[in-house]
A and B are shown apart, each in its own frame.
Chain A
């Protein structure tokens, strides 16, 4: 077991390295650096100026070396300037070069500085992540129970009316990506000119112009049902359909198994057949799916935070990518990749623990 976890961990580390390198490479392409130079120094630089700026800021070294510096496994670059002072990756402006550490990278906790927000990357990410954590928490609380219930109910009697209705709902929800459901939900519940709100306002049932708020900016300070429901519903909706269908498939498969018949013919009541015999076996597969949903949730988070203007992690990522903020984008990628890999690891280990067939062999 320990060997298994260690090996999985090793593969994970290798994956993380490969992924961060790819991101590093793609964000540090020559055109990106050129753009960075122009935005940092001056927009009207000549090509030579750009080249010398790149050279001076340590971007001219081979990409692998820069990756190593960024990671913190290679010493940061230093350069003797014409005025006799030493500049370097790890040397803060105006400080003593001799006192500066040799290594400064991810490993040492130096994530760089955002060029857009003019703040350290860690600080921005910390703020964004804490906002997003609330959103994720709410989504999980809504999505997981709803989808499992939906899936189990429709899978326990395959082909019944209930199954047909619930399956159609699940299919419809998987067919609605966040940017579509978000638009529809806003149009229905948060538009002053269309949907429910004008009617409700006419009847005097709501005091404001709209039932829900179309942005979640205010939720960053104070989460209320009215400003948070739509973003949460938008993300959850897409996931619900997917997980529910997985659960249904797994449940219908379990229900055709011999041991379910054995239980039934032992005289176990239908409710207990479901609860005691079917459920545990049927939830093994969806568990993995829920865990592997994280990359997708991340997608949803980015879309929804952009759509509802909620300044969390996803919004930060869009800002970083849209403004060529290399250090911030790298930071975002590290977080995203880590989230995905850790959930994968958890899903693998959890699967093993849920399934006695694997655990005890």
Chain B
């Protein structure tokens, strides 16, 4: 039986556990700073201290998610006797051969290792948040472009629906959309069927509008997009992938779809606003006078010039999605009770908050730092992209 660790030792041991992350971070920074003049906007990020700090924090969690298996000290679901609500640094009561000897950040109310759960939580969050944000962007961009470009009735209708979703208090929407009952009715699947088709539409239009002058090339690009897109689509939305590569757990699908659904109207509004501004530019008129189709102009003339604000918003939105996922977890919605994700861990911990704060505090700080990193990164990107 070992000694209880002091706070200094806890920090040191944690730093040691994160070794793969440190190595990866140092390598990323060395390479990036070395070649920063050749890397465009990403490179310029390294001119801004704020952006660098933000990027560092974000990459810390990204690498943590990647190397989570190397970092954790215990099975995040395993319960060890005698360590219920154990304070940080507690030693294992009966360590077996090869076991890590301490619960670095203590144990939770089910005697699981808080540290390992926090690390594994990063993996869950970073697997969902960026992907959900990307889907929300696909939907928002694909609908926002024509709404802003054509205006008129199309815009009025789409904006009405966007405002409809935005007028819902998010929590109410989650309480309505993420329930076991709704899974029975299949509504999440229908939603997924609608939302997940957008990337396929987006890329097909993207390639078609650009290469329609060159049919062989167009057919190749559009064909490949359709093949991969529909394959993934069948798996993700309907769980009907013949090869079984793409699939999504119904719980996860429900959460994922809801988050995309909540996020896309905001993206829609942003894109629509930018398009309304950019469509008055002469290069758009030049495209029109040479007889370009509307989708070429939207996707190849307008969208690339909207990338600055969109990239910034993408970073902010990943942070926001992380917060949303946390909210879902906090209310115990849609996630399996065992799940180590940060929101539900906070929820578990809050019942005994004033006596044992550590099980809730660790994931709370982790979530905060990730969102803070994303916000700082967005701020740095914004500052640097404006300097052009």
Contacts and interface: CB of A to CB of B under 8 A. Distances in A.
Nearest to A340: B167
B350 A307 contact: yes
B354 A214 contact: yes
Interface size class of B (residues with CB under 8 A): 35 or more
B23 interface: no
A333 B172 contact: yes
Contacts of B336: none
Nearest to A179: B330
B343 interface: yes
B170 A183 contact: no
B172 A175 contact: no
A187 B364 CA distance: 11
Interface in A99-149: none
Interface string A66-102: 0000000000000000000000000000000000000
Interface in B353-369: 353-358, 360-361, 364-365, 367-368
Given A31-B181, A184-B361, A184-B364, A15 B167 contact: yes
Most buried by B among A184, A210, A329: A184
B302 interface: no
Interface stretch (A44-52, A188-196, A261-269): A188-196
Nearest to B330: A179
Given A184-B361, A303-B330, A321-B175, A295 B354 contact: no
Contacts of B167: 15, 19, 295, 337, 340-341, 344
Given A171-B376, A183-B361, A193-B355, A299 B368 contact: no
Contact of B353 (A174, A214, A336): A214
A195 B371 contact: no
Contacts of A167: 379
B381 to A, nearest CB: 13
B319 interface: yes
A176 B372 CA distance: 8
A29 B368 contact: no
B346 A194 contact: no
A303 B327 contact: yes
Interface in B161-220: 163-164, 166-172, 175-177, 180-182, 184-185, 187
A186 B364 CA distance: 12
A186 B357 contact: yes
A191 B181 contact: no
Nearest to B329: A179
B7 to A, nearest CB: 12
Contacts of B371: 175-177
Nearest to A337: B167
A179 B372 contact: no
Contacts of A333: 172
Interface in B227-280: none
Given A19-B168, A30-B185, A194 B326 contact: no
Contact of B361 (A22, A187, A299, A317): A187
Interface size class of A (residues with CB under 8 A): 35 or more
A43 interface: no
A15 B266 CA distance: 17
B331 interface: yes
Given A15-B167, A32-B181, A191 B330 contact: no
Contacts of A296: 170
B90 interface: no
A183 B353 contact: yes
A15 B327 contact: no
Nearest to B356: A193
Nearest to B168: A19
B169 to A, nearest CB: 4
Nearest to A339: B169
A186 B347 CA distance: 14
A340 B355 contact: no
Contacts of B187: 29
Contact of A192 (B168, B355, B372, B379): B355
B340 interface: no
Nearest to A193: B355
Contact of B357 (A194, A298, A337): A194
B176 A27 contact: yes
Contacts of A328: none
Nearest to A11: B160
A167 B379 CA distance: 10
Interface string B84-99: 0000000000000000
Given A171-B376, A214-B353, A299-B327, A183 B169 contact: no
A32 B180 CA distance: 10
A318 B327 CA distance: 13
Interface string B14-41: 0000000000000000000000000000
A214 B360 CA distance: 14
A210 B354 contact: yes
B177 A179 contact: no
B349 to A, nearest CB: 7
Contacts of A32: 181
A235 interface: no
Contact of A35 (B181, B327, B349, B365): B181
Contacts of B350: 179, 183, 307
Given A175-B372, A179-B364, A180-B346, A31 B185 contact: yes
Given A35-B181, A179-B330, A302 B171 contact: yes
A23 interface: yes
A303 B166 CA distance: 19
A120 B222 CA distance: 59
Contacts of A193: 354-357
Interface string A293-308: 0011011001100110
B133 interface: no
Best-surrounded residue of B160, B169, B323, B375 (most CB of chain A within 10 A)? B169
A171 B357 CA distance: 25
Nearest 5 Cβ contacts at the A-B interface: A187-B357, A31-B181, A175-B372, A321-B175, A175-B371
6 contacts: A15-B167, A23-B172, A26-B182, A179-B343, A194-B357, A306-B331
Interface of B: 160, 163-164, 166-172, 175-177, 180-182, 184-185, 187, 319, 323, 326-327, 330-331, 343, 346-347, 349-350, 353-358, 360-361, 364-365, 367-368, 371-372, 374-376, 379
Interface of A: 11, 14-15, 18-19, 22-23, 26-27, 29-32, 35, 167, 171-172, 174-177, 179-180, 183-184, 186-187, 190-195, 210, 214, 295-296, 298-299, 302-303, 306-307, 317-318, 321, 329, 332-333, 336-337, 340-341, 344
